[in-house]
Amino acid sequence: MDKTTRNYDSSISGNVQKEVERLLSEGKTSLTLQDYERLRRKYPDDNTLYEKVMEAFTERAHEVKRTARKFYNLIMKNVLEGNTNGHTLFSILNLSKKYAKENGLSDAEIEEFRRLVETKLESGVDEQSKSEKGLFPSTNVTSFSKLLGTVAVESNSGLQLKEAEYAIVQEIVMIYARSRTLHASVIIQSMLHTDCSTVALSGRYDSSKHDPSVYVNPLLFALFVPKFNSVDERMLLSNVANVVKAKYQKESIATLPDYRLFYALVTDKNDVVCDSESPIKDLRNRAVLQHHLWESVIAIRAGKYFDVTAAQFVTSIDNCKFSIYSPEVVNMGDETVILKRLFAAFSFNPITVVSAPLYGSMNYNQFTSVGYTQDVYNVPYLQFNVPPAQALTTPLNVSDALNQNIYEFVNNTFVQRQRRVHSADEIIAVSLSRKFNAPQVKSANSPFFVSLPLTINGYETINQAVVNCPDTLSVGDNNDTYVLRSAVFAELMVPVVNTSSQQFVSNNEIVVGTSAMVRCSGGFYAYRPVLIHTPLISGNPSGKDGNRSSPIVKLVPGALDANGQPDIDSDPNEIINKRGLVVFYQKQ
C-alpha cells in the first residue's frame, strides 16, 4: 500500500494538485460555494479550474475514504481483535502509528481513520459506508454562479467570460440601454396599478384597427390583471440586463428586486432554460423575454389587448425550454408550457415542498435505503393530473395537489415519491392536465372547419371531468389561507363543414383557444379574445356586423341556459371546474 503508488493522476496540472492537497489538509470532505469563490478569485483567467479541482478532489477523496476504511478494518481485526474495550482514542492512534507509517498513509487518510475510530468509541458500532453524495458541493455551484459569482461571498470580480462571449455581453448592455425608458414606465405602472383596475378591464376591439388573431396571451391576463406583488417584483421591477451589466462593470447590485433576482438565478438548480450552449446566451434570451413581457404587461394594464407586440412575447418564450427534470409538461398544452418557461426564466419558485420515498413502491428498496430521508426544495407550480370522468370513483378537488404522489428524477431515473406542500409565498399556481389530441375526422373530403386553421388532421380536446376549485385553500403546516384569484380555461367548439347547412363532422368539442377569468370585488370577469367574432357568449354589446366590441365578459355564478341547466359559458364555477387549465390562488 505504498503511498507513491496510490497517488492520483500525475497528468493533473500543478495548480489543481496544489489546491486539492490544500483542501485535503484542511480536512475538507466536500466543496462549498466559499471554496469556489476563493478559487475564482485566485485564478481569474482559468474558467475551468474549479471543475478540474472538483474532479481531482472527488477522486482523491474517494481514495482517502477507501484507504482509511481498509486500514481501519485491518487495525480492528489484527490489532484490536474486534474489541475496543479498555482502549482510548489516544491508545488506538498510538498502536496504529507504526502500521500507518508502514502502509504509507497520508495525513488526510490518517485523519479519516481517526474519525472512524471516534465514531466507534462514541457509538459502540462501526460507521456504515454511505454514498459519496457528500463529496459534491453541499450547495450546488450552478452555471450562473460560475458566471456571475455567488451570494455566499460578496464579489465584484466581474464576469468569467470566454473571448467569443464579450459580444453577447455588449448585446445585453444594449438591451439594458434600449429598455431603460420602458422599464421605468413598467415600474410606475406597477406602482399605480390596483387589483383588477377599471382601465385593465375596459379594453375594446376595433375591427378597423386590430388584428383579432394577435392578442395578449390569456395567461398573462390571469397573472397581471390581479395584483400579485411577488410576481410584479420578480418579473417587472427586476431587470435581468441590469444584473448582467452590473456584474460586467464590477458594480454592486443596487436594488432589492435585482438582488433577489440575482440570488434566485445563481442558486437555481434548473439553470439551463433559454439556451443550453452557454450561460451568457441564456441570460441574453432571458433579457429579451423580459423586454417583451414588459411590453405585453403595459398593454394589458392599459386595456390594449390586441397589441401588435403580443406576438413577440410568444416568439421569445419559445426560445426557453423545459428540462428532463420536468416530465409533467411534456404532453401539456401551450398555457402550461408558457407557465413553466416564464417562471423558469425568472427562477420563480414560490412553493416549498417536502418529498419523501414512497414505501412499498417498485422504486423503493428498504434494504439499501438509509433511514427516512426527506428532500425540501422549491417548485414553480403544482401539477394535477385529471383522470377520465369514467375512471372517477370519488370527487376531485384541486386541494389534492397539495399532497400527492409524483415522479421525480433521482439517480438518472424517474422514481415515485410522496410530496406535500410545506409552505408557499404569495401565489400558488396549479396546472390541470386536461388536454389531449383526438385525431378523429369522419369526412376526409371536408377538412375545412369553421374557426380552425386549414387542413387540420388532428386537434386538441379536453377531459371535462369535474375538478372542484374551491374559493379558498388551507395550505401548508401553518394552514395559511389562499383565495382563488384567476384562471385560464379552454374555449371549445363543435367542428362543422363550412356550408349553409352547417353540417357537424364530429360530436366531440375541440379546443379553439384559451381564455382567462379574474375574480374581482365586483364579481368574475372573463377575457375571451378568441371568441371576438362569435355569437356563442352573451352579455356584451355587439356592433352591426355582429362582432363584439370587447373581449371582456362578466360571468354570473349560478347562471342557467335556456333549458334551465347550468350555463357552461356564463357560470364561472362551471367553466373553471370543467374546463380550467391553470388556476391561481393568492395568500390572504
425 contacts 264 by C-beta, under 8 angstroms: no
Amino acid 495: pLDDT? 66
CA distances from 122 to 82, 115, 118, 134, 423 (A): 15, 11, 6, 22, 38
First to last CA, the chain: 66
| φ and ψ at residue 483, rounded to 5 degrees | -110, 145
238 contacts 260 by C-beta, under 8 angstroms: yes
Amino acid 570: pLDDT? 84
The pLDDT tens digits of the residues spanning 409-437 come to 766 677 788 899 999 999 999 999 888 76
pLDDT band at 28 (very low <50, low <70, confident <90, very high): low
Mean of the pLDDT values across residues 101-117?
78
Angle among Cα 21, 23, 24 to the nearest 5 degrees reads 65
Tell me the percentage of the chain whose pLDDT exceeds 70: 72
Long-range contacts of 491-495 (CB under 8 A, 24+ apart): 491/515, 491/528, 491/530, 491/531, 492/461, 492/462, 492/579, 493/450, 493/451, 493/534, 493/536, 495/449, 495/450, 495/452, 495/459
Instruction: Name which of 519, 524, 518, 515 is nearest 548 in CA terms.
Output: 515
CATH architecture assigned to 351-424+426-587: Alpha-Beta Complex (3.90)
pLDDT band at 498 (very low <50, low <70, confident <90, very high): low
Distance CA 362, CA 364 (A): 6
Amino acid 455: pLDDT? 40
Buried b (16+ CB within 10 A) or exposed e, 107-122: ebbbbbbbbbbeebee
Residue 509's identity, in one-letter code, is E
Amino acid 556: pLDDT? 81
Amino acid 36: pLDDT? 65
- What's the whole-model pTM score? 0.73
3-state secondary structure of 490: strand
Distance CA 437, CA 330 (A): 13
Mean of the pLDDT values across residues 19-30?
67
What is the separation of C-alpha 9 from the centre of its chain, rounded to a whole number of angstroms? Answer: 39
Mean of the pLDDT values across residues 213-223?
93
- Output 51 or 292, whichever has higher pLDDT: 292
> In this structure, what C-alpha cell is assigned to residue 323?
428540462
The CATH 3.90.70 domain(s) of the chain lie at: 351-424+426-587
Neighbours of 139 (CB within 10 A): 16
Residue 3 has pLDDT above 90, yes or no: no
Give every CB contact of residue 59 below 8 A, 6+ residues apart in sequence.
Answer: 8, 9
Residue 159's identity, in one-letter code, is L
Residue 584 has pLDDT above 90, yes or no: yes
| φ and ψ at residue 538, rounded to 5 degrees | -110, 170
Distance CA 485, CA 183 (A): 26
- Output 97 or 180, whichever has higher pLDDT: 180
Give every CB contact of residue 461 below 8 A, 6+ residues apart in sequence.
Answer: 435, 436, 438, 492, 508, 509, 510, 511
The pLDDT tens digits of the residues spanning 234-255 come to 999 999 999 999 988 888 888 8
Long-range contacts of 161-170 (CB under 8 A, 24+ apart): 161/280, 162/47, 162/278, 165/278, 165/280, 165/281, 168/278, 168/280, 168/281, 168/284, 169/244, 169/248, 169/280
pLDDT band at 134 (very low <50, low <70, confident <90, very high): very low
Quickly tell me which residue has 415522479 as its cell.
407
Strand 427-433 relative to strand 382-385: parallel, antiparallel, unpaired? parallel
Q: Alpha helix locations (H) across 193-309?
A: 218-224, 229-232, 240-248, 256-267, 279-301
Distance CA 251, CA 245 (A): 8
> In this structure, what C-alpha cell is assigned to residue 354?
417536502
Residue 389 has pLDDT above 50, yes or no: yes
- Output 51 or 211, whichever has higher pLDDT: 211
pLDDT band at 124 (very low <50, low <70, confident <90, very high): low
- Which of 5-9, 169-173, 377-381, 480-484 comes out lowest in average pLDDT? 5-9
Enter the DSSP assignment of 451. T
Instruction: Name which of 428, 436, 511 is nearest 470 in CA terms.
Output: 428
- Which of 10-24, 118-132, 202-216 comes out lowest in average pLDDT? 118-132
- Output 352 or 83, whichever has higher pLDDT: 352
- Output 360 or 131, whichever has higher pLDDT: 360
pLDDT band at 450 (very low <50, low <70, confident <90, very high): very low
Amino acid 449: pLDDT? 44
pLDDT band at 519 (very low <50, low <70, confident <90, very high): very high
Residue 496 has pLDDT above 70, yes or no: no
160 contacts 147 by C-beta, under 8 angstroms: yes
Enter the DSSP assignment of 195. T
- Sign of the Cα torsion 57, 59, 60, 61 reads positive
Mean of the pLDDT values across residues 565-584?
88
> In this structure, what C-alpha cell is assigned to residue 270?
434548473
Amino acid 223: pLDDT? 97
Enter the DSSP assignment of 482. E
Mean of the pLDDT values across residues 391-410?
85
pLDDT band at 542 (very low <50, low <70, confident <90, very high): very low
pLDDT band at 534 (very low <50, low <70, confident <90, very high): low
Amino acid 497: pLDDT? 55
Query: Mean pLDDT: which of 412-416, 508-512, 537-541 is highest?
Result: 508-512
Query: Mean pLDDT: which of 29-33, 187-191, 209-213, 279-283 is highest?
Result: 187-191
Amino acid 468: pLDDT? 94
The pLDDT tens digits of the residues spanning 273-294 come to 677 778 889 899 999 999 999 9
